[in-house]
Structure 1
């Protein structure tokens, strides 16, 4: 993907969204920078009045509103080249600690919003014969941590949906980004939703809660470097479907994959023995 492009970036006022917006503008592209509150984008828009267009948008709103927003971008700019589903937040709580409203709200933000926006973009990409969707997932889309169960569930869902849609729409480039801990505003005081703690989960969820509440500014990842990496991957002829970012993300995903491979190998005789034409097979001895 080369030349001047039109981007729609959600959650553009800070963190990864802001860094991606700045990187795209530096590359000569135009960005419709969407956020619930656009005041934080005023300086960037003033500095690049022809390249940055703030858009007030709540991705948890009705699907009709999200479709209208995408259609309006195309109507005003003539095309949409890259959709970045970045809006998100952190939520910490064991499943038993998490309320109905907290659970549903996070799925609305991390799954339903991106699904609606992606669905709205697909007809335009089909008409153009090209387009790209960047799904800002997380290392939590592959690696689970106590207290992040609902958060991880939303990212697992987003990744599964995207992997399927990528097979349905070969003319569209999909990039699932899986950052580890980066110095965004997800961990700033008051940014994360903290479910009311229960004493029963202090040993398992307590360390995660402490990390989120006290870890701001200690994360190893640089959002500006992440944005550069995302643009590099999008431009590559052999772009991956998934792009982990950060040493912690790479190490965590590698450990999980090794564990999955080990389970698959150890239990393969029992697994394949369930076929109708199976030739036997029983439970393997754990090694």
Structure 2
């Protein structure tokens, strides 16, 4: 029997790639995001399965409850709840407007907490279910000029660990956290920016499809936490074991690898409102290997797709 999967943040990046992955498995989908037009595009991409789209702003009171109600009304149950919705802001902490900082935390931390709360209410009543959240390697380390995002991901790490402890009495209810490093999504270009230079993911950069597969794998074989990124462990060890060295290096490295040379005027990006024109699966930071290795590459192409997304 196909699963009923709710995906919050399905209009772009990891969430959009995740919708495609579940659709390929024949699962029924409830897709939620702020942009109605983009949700329609994702629905068309998943046309082979039954899809319900529900425009949802996770910062609006009652929005996630309404999303769950819509899913139950349409499909009668919820089996999986995936939360990928996130926004980002660049800027020195004391120069980043407080309203921007607060909205990033409201979206990335409180929105995710709201998803967990609503999902668990339904799963406790049903006796089973899986929640998957997307965190970040920045939930274990820090980087300058990203204070709101880092604070949110550290908070999410603590929330997940606490709720996992509270779920020990309910072994059929699983809470999983997928922590990617840099990912080729549009979130960097869509970010609020008070730094003057457009952000980009520092290498090595993973494809959103690779993260999406990790999310689906967590549903098939639940794990408490999954890391996606070749250097995640190295960065975490450096941050913990050599904090002085890490702090000396992280600033110059972020300026070199985490910011492009393109100037940008101060703006709020998509923090307060969606920008459908900028939403896509990929952010253009990696070549699309699915296209590059198609055709006569044959087995080599298939191997590369499995490895890199």
TM-score calculated relative to the size of structure 2: 0.72
With over 3 angstroms needed to count, the CA separation of the structure-2 counterparts of 1:52 and 1:251, relative to structure 1, is farther
Is the partner of 1:94 in helix, strand or coil? coil
With over 3 angstroms needed to count, the CA separation of the structure-2 counterparts of 1:49 and 1:241, relative to structure 1, is same
Give unmatched runs, 5+ long, in structure 2.
244-309
Aligned to 2:187: 186
Q: Could you tell me whether the CA contact under 8 Å between 1:8 and 1:33 is conserved in 2?
A: yes
Q: Could you tell me whether the CA contact under 8 Å between 2:182 and 2:201 is conserved in 1?
A: no
Is the partner of 2:183 in helix, strand or coil? coil
2:191 is the alignment partner of 1:229: no
Is the partner of 1:169 in helix, strand or coil? helix
Q: Could you tell me whether the CA contact under 8 Å between 2:204 and 2:230 is conserved in 1?
A: no
How big is the shift at 1:253? 2.3
2:167 is the alignment partner of 1:169: yes
Is the partner of 1:187 in helix, strand or coil? helix
Q: Could you tell me whether the CA contact under 8 Å between 1:183 and 1:217 is conserved in 2?
A: no
Aligned to 1:53: 52
Is the partner of 2:30 in helix, strand or coil? strand
Aligned to 1:128: 126
How big is the shift at 1:76? 2.1
Aligned to 1:41: 39
Q: CA RMSD in A?
A: 2.1
CA distance in 1: counterparts of 2:201 and 2:84, whole angstroms: 19
How big is the shift at 1:112? 1.4
How big is the shift at 1:38? 2.5
Q: Could you tell me whether the CA contact under 8 Å between 2:90 and 2:199 is conserved in 1?
A: no
Q: Which has the larger radius of gyration?
A: 1
With over 3 angstroms needed to count, the CA separation of the structure-2 counterparts of 1:88 and 1:80, relative to structure 1, is same
Equivalent pairs, count: 239
Aligned to 2:67: 69
Aligned to 1:241: 224
Q: Could you tell me whether the CA contact under 8 Å between 2:11 and 2:42 is conserved in 1?
A: no
Trace 1:186-265 onto structure 2 (pairs within 5 A): 186-188=187-189, 191-195=190-194, 197=195, 210=197, 213=198, 215=200, 220-236=205-221, 239-259=222-242
With over 3 angstroms needed to count, the CA separation of the structure-2 counterparts of 1:25 and 1:126, relative to structure 1, is same
Q: Deviations over 1:62-104 (max 9, x none)?
A: 1x23212212212321111111111111211222112210111
With over 3 angstroms needed to count, the CA separation of the structure-2 counterparts of 1:74 and 1:259, relative to structure 1, is farther
With over 3 angstroms needed to count, the CA separation of the structure-2 counterparts of 1:36 and 1:247, relative to structure 1, is same
CA distance in 2: counterparts of 1:4 and 1:158, whole angstroms: 29
CA distance in 2: counterparts of 1:100 and 1:38, whole angstroms: 28
Q: Could you tell me whether the CA contact under 8 Å between 2:178 and 2:214 is conserved in 1?
A: no
Give unmatched runs, 5+ long, in structure 1.
198-208, 261-287
Q: Could you tell me whether the CA contact under 8 Å between 2:2 and 2:28 is conserved in 1?
A: yes
TM-score calculated relative to the size of structure 1: 0.77
2:111 is the alignment partner of 1:102: no
Instruction: Identify the range of structure 1 (74-83 vs 101-110) with the bigger mean alpha-carbon deviation.
Output: 74-83
How big is the shift at 1:6? 1.0
